[in-house]
Amino acid sequence: MSAHFMADAHVSNSLPAVANAFAATVYSDVIKMEEFNKIVFLRFSGVGTTGTSTITVEACDNTTPSNVSAVAFHYRRISVADTHAAITAATTAGFTTTAGSNEMYLVEVDADALSADGNGYEYVRLKLVEVADDDVLGGIIAIQLQPRYSSAVDRTQIT
């Protein structure tokens, strides 16, 4: 393991920031977890004080995906002024976000959970279903962590 987070994490812009980002039902990119042990989805929002969504995590059989299966995960809300809520376990039913501007949700998934029901899925995505309809400016960043192989992360030279 490197001394630098940037060398051991694979970060992708899974849902670029946009106005009304979480309208109706929205999905992050489908991400292959074969080479990583963990993923954290960072769902962030700026302006939008009343819109809410139910967040769930789906294990997927491929990038399309053809089949999905909801999985349990952990999450944490970070609100204005860097206030971190407790890390909370979520069932396959997920949880509903709290209305508010300038907040983040960290959603952490273990790769082993993707195939816990014996389906053997290697892909994952975040699913957001709008509960309270109001425009929310936001997006989703995906951070894959704990590489299983040294070649799993694009290792640029550290200077």
pLDDT tens-digit map of 6-64:
888 999 999 999 999 999 999 999 999 999 999 999 999 988 788 899 999 999 999 99
Average pLDDT over residues 110-139: 92
Q: Is the pLDDT of residue 141 over 50?
A: yes
pLDDT at 149: 80
- The pTM (predicted TM-score) of the whole model is 0.92
DSSP string covering the chain, please? --S-HHHH-EEEEEEEEETTTTSSEEE---EE-TTEEEEEEEEEE-S-SS-EEEEEEEEESSSS-S-EEEE-EEEEEEETTTEEPPPEEE-TT-EEPPP-SSEEEEEEEEGGGGGTTS----EEEEEEEEEE-----EEEEEEEEEESSTTSS--PPP-
Q: Is the pLDDT of residue 153 over 90?
A: no
Residue extents of the structural domains in the chain? 11-147
Average pLDDT over residues 97-123: 92
Architecture of domain 11-147: Sandwich (2.60)
pLDDT at 80: 78
pLDDT at 154: 59
Average pLDDT over residues 100-106: 92
